[in-house]
Amino acid sequence: MNLKNISAAGAIALAALAAGTMPAFAATASETITGGGLTTTSPDITFASVAITGSPTSQSGSYKLDVNDLSGNNSGWKVTLAGAALTNLDTTTLVTTATPPGAAPCTTVVTGCTDLAANVSPTAPFAVSTTAVPLFSAAINTGQLDHNFTTGMSVAVPAAVSSGAYTSTWTVSVTSGP
């Protein structure tokens, strides 16, 4: 460097000090975000009563499910359903079939209605059994916040059937990951 450039740089530095400017210091900003949970509701479902007529019939109902993903991990989720057949006191059983919509429904999210059809997959109709079967799943990086689904359910009532109340316990689970 030549003497002329060094003198000019020194003059600028002295002028800055004389003006009272201070050198800049680096600062760090940070924020910690704590994830919430991944939860689902498991409401009861009650089918309307049916009379014995001597002909086979079925009774339909709707199962409303709520999945709330506040986990913040964006790994998607899977909802499964398992349960025994509807049984009465004399151990007669009735087959119950779950029929998720053919495409993912428009789900209610905290901020409004978002169509997750490309990311939330329903399963094909299946008979409710003690083996857990996926009901809905959300792909990775989707499914955050609150989603409500309605799944059609039907009970097959044979022509010859015992009268009485039929009950069962079903387990609805939600796990992280598609």
pLDDT interval class at 10 (50, 70, 90)? low
Q: Which of 53-57, 142-146, 169-173 has the lowest average pLDDT?
A: 142-146
3-state secondary structure 62-106: EEEEEEEECCCCCCCEEEEEEECCEECCCCCEECEEEECCCCCCE
Cβ 83 vs Cβ 129: under 8 Å: yes
Protein fold of 38-176: Immunoglobulin-like (2.60.40)
Amino acid type, 41: T
Per-residue pLDDT tens for 129-165? 888 887 777 778 877 777 777 778 888 888 888 888 9
Q: Which of 1-5, 52-56, 99-103 has the lowest average pLDDT?
A: 1-5
- Where in the chain are the domains? 38-176
Amino acid type, 142: T
Per-residue pLDDT tens for 56-113? 988 888 888 888 888 888 888 888 888 888 889 988 888 888 776 655 544 544 444 4
